[in-house]
């Protein structure tokens, strides 16, 4: 029997279950569920991953060598995004300035640094100016200074311009339009030049702990496992990386961060994190319509006023008439029939958008979740042996739709506080893994805190009267005039997964068919993300209970996972004997956006890392 803990919903949770409670009838009353696992049901089940079906109990794994090679470093960083790389760079800058030996290792799950990065992106260069005041001479790929910034409300047929007053959070004066993946690749080159060891194609799959409970490091994922969960002849155990301190910079909704929240109770004093999904495409357009440096944002159509979201369209100056465009939908939406992907496709047909795309060529597609909880949802950031940086805890400035500058600054502050502590000869560590609470103090004193505090009420104000438009009125009054100094802090609605209404209470949404010129279907879109996973491996979209997708999600919510996944991973198909439906998981399509882990109304999906290197292969998204 596999006992599923009600707290963590994972079978490997360390909550102890008294033997007397193991009787079948006691479990439901305690909130536990139990599932019989035999090797035959493991083989035929959707979820064959060892995080759900432990290998110790599986006869197919008997005698397989599970020893792991171990390496030691001073500082270990998980995730080669803006946060992780800025931390790595700052650590080596300080070590070199002080002529001190310091080994800094960084693991990144994409096969190339930048390959899993997806953003808008309008970059506020504040943190970059601090990290590399000479970034221009170093050839940072910031080629497009914003020249024109427009904002509008869309109705079905019209675009109502809204003045972009100086001082509003959406104002982009002084910012650069970038391909964030390219910028991150450049950060990676700078890090390597400074002596950081970068290991791309290695996903951190597990957090390791010392006996005293502090973080010891991570293990990279095992490779060479068949789809049915049995070992291949090529099976190779991952390796352990131990460090004095480990920084977790996995980006929005990190799967190791989820473990850490539970282990150290880090979310005890903050609000639930809330999210949005962002979908993006790159297009080469007609040169006559190209306006390098122009930034366009909209709210409104095709979303109703209760659904938070909007669009962006940026004209880049990268030697060809390139535009980046995308659509963001708040994951607190209620109607399970809503498809963020199809809303995005529909938006491109608006009379104010379509002319730019007519006769143009779409070259790339992708999606990624982003944090929306802001100031209210920042968890505790330090714990013995580790720190959380960047969008993993969530330093996104939501009304600005910007988190790169805050992610970078948080990484830099983490680096500075760690370096100070390591350098301090008198410091006597209490735990084996170094505890650096000073990081939180520095963060609170930094511009990140001031910035996030000032915009804290803008997103939650959209839950009050008039939805998104209420939020705009609130911004006009309290942000523009009082700069967020109002003495109250509004609350979020709660967790996004609990906002879906039953299908019977909602109206199905009729989406127009894609025309294949401006709007497209899901599969041809995913093909443009370069996504690839080794097919013969256990699905990394693990289900705590394989029955729930049909018995609850389909029955009650009409299977929302088939709509909120932007890559067509979840499909409900008829059973062979036509007696009902079953879920099919096309895990190889997954673009690692994390939306399913966030929005699944049953919270039955746990995204885990696939074999290293798998996932999208974005080129400058």
Residues found near ligand FAD in the complex (CB under 6 A): 78-84, 107-110, 116-123, 180, 203-204, 249-252, 254, 256, 278, 280, 326, 328, 368, 370, 390-392, 396, 401-405, 407, 609
Look at residue 256 and give the partner it binds from ligand SF4, ligand FAD, none, a contact being a CB closer than 5 to 8 Å depending on partner kind: ligand FAD
List 89, 142, 591, 608, residue binding ligand SF4 (CB under 6 A): 591
Look at residue 434 and give the partner it binds from ligand FAD, ligand SF4, none, a contact being a CB closer than 5 to 8 Å depending on partner kind: none
Look at residue 407 and give the partner it binds from ligand FAD, ligand SF4, none, a contact being a CB closer than 5 to 8 Å depending on partner kind: ligand FAD
Look at residue 116 and give the partner it binds from ligand FAD, ligand SF4, none, a contact being a CB closer than 5 to 8 Å depending on partner kind: ligand FAD
Active site residue 590: yes
Look at residue 249 and give the partner it binds from ligand SF4, ligand FAD, none, a contact being a CB closer than 5 to 8 Å depending on partner kind: ligand FAD
Cβ proximity of 512 and 349 under 8 Å: yes
CA distance 587 to 127: 36
**Residues ≥6 apart with Cβ < 8 Å to 10:** 4, 51, 52, 544, 606
The two structure tokens encoding residue 409: 């600054």
Cβ proximity of 244 and 434 under 8 Å: yes
The distance of closest approach from Cβ of residue 294 to ligand FAD in the complex, given in angstroms and rounded to an integer, is 14
Q: Counting contacts by CB under 6 A, is residue 541 touching ligand SF4?
A: yes
**Residues ≥6 apart with Cβ < 8 Å to 561:** 549, 553, 569, 570, 583, 596, 599, 600, 605
Whose Cβ is closer to ligand SF4: residue 504's or residue 535's?
Answer: 535
Q: Counting contacts by CB under 6 A, is residue 178 touching ligand SF4?
A: no
Q: Counting contacts by CB under 6 A, is residue 595 touching ligand SF4?
A: yes
Which H or E run contains 198?
Answer: strand 197-200
Place of tokens 């998980």: 78
Candidates 368, 456, 459, 563; catalytic one: 368
Active site residue 262: no
Whose Cβ is closer to ligand FAD: residue 122's or residue 282's?
Answer: 122
**Residues ≥6 apart with Cβ < 8 Å to 611:** 203, 221, 223, 225, 533, 534, 537
Which H or E run contains 419?
Answer: helix 404-423
Place of tokens 């025309």: 515
Site string for ligand SF4, 542-581 (x = CB under 6 A): -----------------------xxx-x------------
Whose Cβ is closer to ligand FAD: residue 34's or residue 237's?
Answer: 237
Coil/strand/helix, residue 299: strand
CA distance 275 to 317: 30
Intra-chain end-to-end CA distance of the chain, in Å: 45
Whose Cβ is closer to ligand SF4: residue 407's or residue 567's?
Answer: 567
Candidates 404, 410, 461, 475; catalytic one: 404
Look at residue 154 and give the partner it binds from ligand FAD, ligand SF4, none, a contact being a CB closer than 5 to 8 Å depending on partner kind: none
Cβ proximity of 22 and 5 under 8 Å: no
Look at residue 391 and give the partner it binds from ligand FAD, ligand SF4, none, a contact being a CB closer than 5 to 8 Å depending on partner kind: ligand FAD
Candidates 90, 593, 595, 602; catalytic one: 593
CA distance 14 to 113: 35
By C-alpha distance, which of 84, 469, 41, 502 is closest to 254?
Answer: 84
Whose Cβ is closer to ligand FAD: residue 277's or residue 585's?
Answer: 277
Active site residue 252: no
Helix ranges, 514-570 (H): 522-527, 548, 555-557, 561-564
Active site residue 404: yes
Q: 592: alpha, beta or left, given left = phi > 0 and alpha = psi -120 to 50?
A: left
The distance of closest approach from Cβ of residue 1 to ligand FAD in the complex, given in angstroms and rounded to an integer, is 30
- Number of residues counted as binding ligand SF4 (CB under 6 A): 13
Interface contacts to ligand SF4, rule CB under 6 A: 541, 565-567, 569, 590-596, 607
Catalytic residue list: 119, 368, 404, 565, 590, 593, 596
């Amino acid at each position: 029997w596999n006992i599923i803990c009600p707290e963590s919903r994972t079978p490997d949770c360390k909550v102890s279950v008294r033997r007397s409670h193991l009787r079948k009838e006691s479990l439901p009353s305690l909130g536990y569920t139990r599932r019989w696992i035999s090797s035959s049901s493991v083989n035929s089940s959707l979820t064959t991953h060892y995080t759900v079906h432990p290998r110790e109990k599986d006869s197919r794994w008997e005698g397989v060598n599970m020893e792991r090679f171990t390496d030691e470093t001073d500082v270990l960083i998980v995730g080669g995004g803006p946060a992780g790389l800025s931390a790595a760079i700052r650590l080596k800058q300080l070590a070199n300035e002080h002529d001190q030996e310091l080994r800094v290792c960084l693991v990144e799950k994409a096969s190339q640094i930048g390959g899993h990065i997806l953003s808008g992106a309008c970059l506020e260069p504040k943190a970059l100016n601090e990290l590399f005041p000479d970034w221009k001479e170093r050839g940072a790929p910031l080629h497009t200074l914003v020249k024109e910034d427009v904002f509008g409300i869309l109705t079905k047929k019209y675009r109502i311009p809204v003045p972009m007053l100086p001082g509003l959070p959406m104002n982009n004066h002084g910012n650069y339009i970038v391909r964030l993946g390219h910028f991150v690749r450049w950060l990676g080159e700078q890090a390597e030049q400074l002596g950081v060891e970068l290991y791309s194609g290695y996903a951190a799959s597990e957090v390791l702990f010392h006996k005293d409970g502090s973080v010891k490091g991570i293990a990279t994922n095992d490779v060479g496992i068949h789809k049915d969960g049995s070992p291949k002849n090529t099976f190779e155990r991952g390796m352990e990386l131990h460090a004095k301190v480990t920084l977790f910079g996995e980006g929005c909704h990190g799967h190791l961060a989820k473990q850490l929240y539970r282990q150290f109770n880090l979310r005890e004093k903050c609000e639930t994190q809330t999210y949005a999904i962002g979908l993006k495409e790159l297009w080469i357009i007609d040169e006559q319509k190209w306006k390098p440096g122009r930034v366009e944002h909209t709210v409104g159509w095709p979303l109703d006023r209760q659904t938070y979201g909007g669009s962006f369209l940026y004209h880049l100056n990268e030697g060809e008439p390139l535009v980046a465009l995308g659509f963001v939908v708040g994951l607190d939406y209620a109607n399970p029939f809503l498809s963020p992907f199809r809303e995005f496709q529909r938006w491109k047909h608006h009379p104010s958008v379509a002319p730019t795309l007519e006769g143009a060529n779409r070259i790339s597609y992708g999606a990624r979740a982003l944090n929306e909880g802001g100031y209210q949802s920042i968890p505790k950031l330090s714990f013995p042996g580790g720190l959380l940086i960047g969008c993993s805890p969530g330093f996104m400035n939501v009304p600005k739709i910007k988190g790169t500058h805050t992610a970078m600054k948080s990484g830099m502050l983490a680096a500075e506080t760690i370096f100070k502590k390591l350098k301090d000869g008198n410091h006597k560590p209490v735990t084996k893994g170094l505890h650096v609470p000073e990081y939180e103090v520095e963060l609170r004193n930094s511009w990140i805190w001031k910035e996030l505090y000032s915009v804290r009420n803008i997103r939650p104000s959209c839950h009050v009267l008039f939805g998104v438009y209420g939020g705009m009125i609130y911004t006009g009054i309290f942000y523009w005039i009082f700069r967020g100094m109002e003495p109250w802090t509004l609350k979020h609605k709660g967790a996004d997964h609990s906002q879906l209404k039953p299908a019977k209470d909602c109206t199905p949404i009729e989406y127009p068919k894609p025309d294949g010129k401006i709007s497209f279907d899901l599969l041809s879109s995913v093909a443009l993300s370069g996504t690839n996973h080794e097919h013969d491996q256990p699905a990394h979209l693990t289900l705590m209970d394989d029955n729930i997708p049909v018995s609850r999600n389909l029955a009650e919510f009409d299977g929302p996972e088939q709509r909120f996944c932007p890559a067509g991973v979840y499909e409900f198909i008829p059973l062979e004997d036509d007696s009902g439906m079953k879920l099919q998981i096309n895990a190889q399509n997954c673009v690692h956006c994390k939306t399913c882990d966030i929005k699944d109304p049953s919270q039955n999906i746990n995204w885990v890392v696939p074999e290293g290197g798998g996932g999208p292969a974005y080129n400058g998204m």
